Amino acid sequence: MILNLLIAFAGGLISFLSPCILPLIPGYIAYISGQPLDKMAEDKKNIILRTTFFTLGFSIIFISFGITASFIGKLLINYSSYLRIFSGIIIILFSFQLVGLLNFKFLNSELRFFTKKNNNNIFFPIIIGMAFGFGWTPCIGPILGSILAIASLENRLTDAIILLSFYSLGLAIPFIISGYAIHRFIYLSKKIRIYMPQILKAGGIILFITGILILTNNLQILGFYLIEFFPFFSNIG
């Protein structure tokens, strides 16, 4: 479970750096805050609050996906070996998408939801976050789909919820930090964008290794070694 959580959190971080999220972060934050970029630094408390609610919105969507994946996995419990093999193959295919060996066009797009005017209600960012959660799904599909494949293999529903919570945290934490330091983020994002292909390929390699370990039923064994060498992780989960 520990290794799965680390993979899920790393998946969230890589999703944040994806081409359909990272370059548009300033626009997202300006939209949910209702303020122009040059005014955001004057009200950081409001920015943090609204970006937190926004991340809560997309977290609800991703966790609900995890619950669905776990429920389907339970229905197929008698075919768990086949489900594990299928999940491993799916993750490997998604890894090929990230490193550029395959190109599933439907995974290179996103849906964007905008309303014509901003709502001052504090719960407005949650609704928008949920909408964007659905909209991002195609673009971050290889990573999110891999995490959902792992979630479908979890024995307990709570484990699937925790797994997708860690994925959401990996995406939410840098998003909130970006809102707090928006001008610094704009500068750094331009630097990071140069290395985006390498970042995505690194993520693809991680997913490929994960897929192979699941396919060969060795993921848990690696987790045991992780705890042995890093006892700190035995206190998590």
**pLDDT for res 172:** 94
Whether 230 has a pLDDT exceeding 70, the answer reads no
Is 48 in contact with 26 (CB distance < 8 Å)? no
**pLDDT for res 48:** 87
The DSSP line for 75-144 is HTGGGHHHHHHHHHHHHHHHHHHHHTS---GGGG-------SS----TTHHHHHHHHHHHHHTTTTHHHH
**pLDDT for res 74:** 77
- How many domains does the chain contain in total? 1
**pLDDT for res 9:** 94
Task: Give the CA count within 13 Å in the CB-facing half-sphere of 225.
Answer: 5
Q: For the chain, where are the alpha helices, taking DSSP H only?
A: 2-16, 25-33, 44-75, 80-99, 124-136, 141-151, 157-180, 182-193, 196-215, 219-229
Structure tokens at 27: 């626009």
Residues whose CB falls within 8 Å of the CB of residue 172, separated by 6 or more in sequence, listed in order: 12, 52, 55, 56, 58, 59
Tokens 């919570």 belong to 165
**% of the chain with per-residue pLDDT over 70:** 76
Whether 4 has a pLDDT exceeding 70, the answer reads yes
Is 176 in contact with 54 (CB distance < 8 Å)? no
Structure tokens at 217: 């039923």
Q: What is the mean pLDDT of residues 98-114?
A: 63
**pLDDT for res 107:** 55
Selection from 175, 72, 70 nearest residue 132 by Cα = 175
Per residue in 16-60, pLDDT (tens digit) is 887 778 877 887 787 787 776 666 666 778 888 889 999 999 999
Which residue type sits at 142? P
Whether 233 has a pLDDT exceeding 50, the answer reads no
DSSP 159: H
Mean pLDDT rounded to a whole number for the chain:
78
Is 237 in contact with 1 (CB distance < 8 Å)? yes
Give 115 or 168, the one with higher predicted confidence. 168
**pLDDT for res 210:** 81
Per residue in 158-213, pLDDT (tens digit) is 999 999 999 999 999 999 988 888 777 777 777 777 777 887 788 788 788 888 88
Whether 65 has a pLDDT exceeding 60, the answer reads yes
Q: What is the mean pLDDT of residues 96-117?
A: 63
DSSP 36: -
pTM assigned to the model: 0.75
**pLDDT for res 98:** 77
**pLDDT for res 141:** 75
Domain span at residue 140 reads 2-235
Which residue type sits at 217? N
